[in-house]
Amino acid sequence: GDDEDLDLKVKWKGAPEFSSKDGAFKFKVRGRIMVDYTNADQDFAITGEPDVDATELRRGRLGVEGVVYHDVKYKFEYDFAGDGEVTDAYLQYKGLPVDITLGQFKTPNSLEEQTSSRFITFMERAAITDAFDLERQLGAGLSYKKEQWTAAAGIFGRNIADEANEEGTTFAARVTAAPILTDRRVVHLGASYRSRDNGDYEDLGLYRYRQRAADFHLTDRFVNTGQIGESDDLWGLESAVVLGSFSLQGEYMQLTSEVPADIDFSTHSPTYDGWYLSASYFLTGEMRNYDEGEFDRVHVNHPVNEGGWGAWQIAGRYDTIDLSEGGCEECGEQNTWLIGVNWHLNDYTRLMLNVNQSEIDGGINDGADITGVGLRAQVDW
């Protein structure tokens, strides 16, 4: 038949990934929906903030990725949630041992940050990733990835949403190793660094360090340095262990900010830090899937459709962020416990339940106790 002339291959990855027979071209539409319900008590007596009882489109993304002429990969995705933002928007040359990336992508920092929001264990990432502004920025990067180790570095301007005449410059780098990497066992170690200067900060404001209560997305922020930093340096250590269905993951990060002389702050080089340790276990035998320095999609043994019950994962995390230095109104520390249950109906669908509690130590919100429950329904393609 004349189908023999059809220059097409397909792999089903949620949505179909199409490619030409010679592999010169690839194309896939991609996206994700995450819808949340959050109910939280924000300790009104201390914080003055009312309870949260609300739904949210946490992420609603649509995008594409592809390859043109063998070696040039591209990815473009937009998140329609909230005010909307461009997420990945880059092209990448893959014809050399070292990949060259141009455009907007994540600065190479933190295992938790590098792992897609589709594959993180809790509804929100650990406090250090938000408090220290880990995000996508527009720049140029080099990366080298082998099964057992990776190295990446980049030089960046700002995130696409931040416009300024003089943007300042960010430099970031990360190395990881997996000295143990077998079918069911992984030991991951990594370290990363980031240095930012704020350029013409009259346009964009000084850097600000802060975090939402109880690691929810709809709660308010009770530790918050305000806008203080004209430049900062960040370094972090990360580790993860996978032992079959059991997994441990932890990170430590420390940031030193340079505060201009005209800001009323008790120190002009405050140092902030934070860390988390999380553990998780699949009751149904699956494992967290490690891939070149980050965690990837979980493969469900018995999807709900095939007479199975899907994958059930239980998890806990202790998460702390210390923004105390400087003696400002909301300079303080937040310590958070999280308990999570994830039900993966299949490889592309999961329901999540998080029960979280934060305590604030220091600042005007000292002693506040924020407790809440979050629910998420997630699908990606």
Q: Is 231 helix (H, G, I), strand (E, B) or coil?
A: strand
| 147 vs 166 by CB, closer to a copy of itself | 166
91 binds a copy of itself (CB under 8 A): yes
Q: What is the largest CA-CA distance in the chain?
A: 79
In whole angstroms, the minimum distance from the beta carbon of 160 to a copy of itself comes to 5
Interface with a copy of itself includes 103 (CB under 8 A)?
Answer: yes
Residue 188 interacts with a copy of itself (CB under 8 A)? no
| Residues of span 345-364 touching a copy of itself by CB under 8 A | 345-349
Shortest reach from residue 86's CB to a copy of itself, in Å: 5
Least distance (Å) between residue 56 CB and a copy of itself: 7
139 near a copy of itself, rule: CB under 8 A? yes
Give dist(CA 178, CA 186) in Å, integer.
7
Burial 357-372 (b: 16+ CB within 10 A, else e): bbbbbbbebeebbbbb
- The rounded Cα 208 to chain-centroid distance in angstroms is 18
HEC letters along 8-44: CEEEEECEEEEECCCCCCEEEEEEEEEEEEEEEECCH
Per DSSP, the three-state class of 47 is: helix
Q: Does 164 bind a copy of itself (CB under 8 A)?
A: yes
Bridge partners of 372, per DSSP, are: 40, 356
* 79 burial via Cβ count (<10 Å: 0-12, 13-18, 19+): buried
200 binds a copy of itself (CB under 8 A): yes
Which residues 30-49 are close enough to bind a copy of itself by CB under 8 A?
31, 33, 35, 37, 49
Residue 138 as a binder of a copy of itself (CB under 8 A): the answer is: yes
| 52 makes contact with a copy of itself (CB under 8 A) | yes
Give the residue, chosen from 60, 205, 244, 316, that forms a contact with a copy of itself under the rule CB under 8 A: 60
Out of 41, 43, 74, 365, point to the residue binding a copy of itself (CB under 8 A): 74
Report d(CA 45, CA 323) in Å as an integer.
22
Residue 343 in the binding site for a copy of itself (CB under 8 A): no
Identify the residue among 48, 54, 113, 311 touching a copy of itself (CB under 8 A).
Answer: 54
Query: Per CB under 8 A, does 1 bind a copy of itself?
Result: yes
Ordered DSSP codes for 89-130: EEEEE-SSSSEEEEEEEE-S--HHHHS-TTT-SSSS--HHHH
- By C-beta, is 78 or 144 nearer to a copy of itself? 78
Under the binding rule (CB under 8 A), the answer on residue 116 touching a copy of itself is: no
Nearer CB in complex with a copy of itself: 177/353: 353
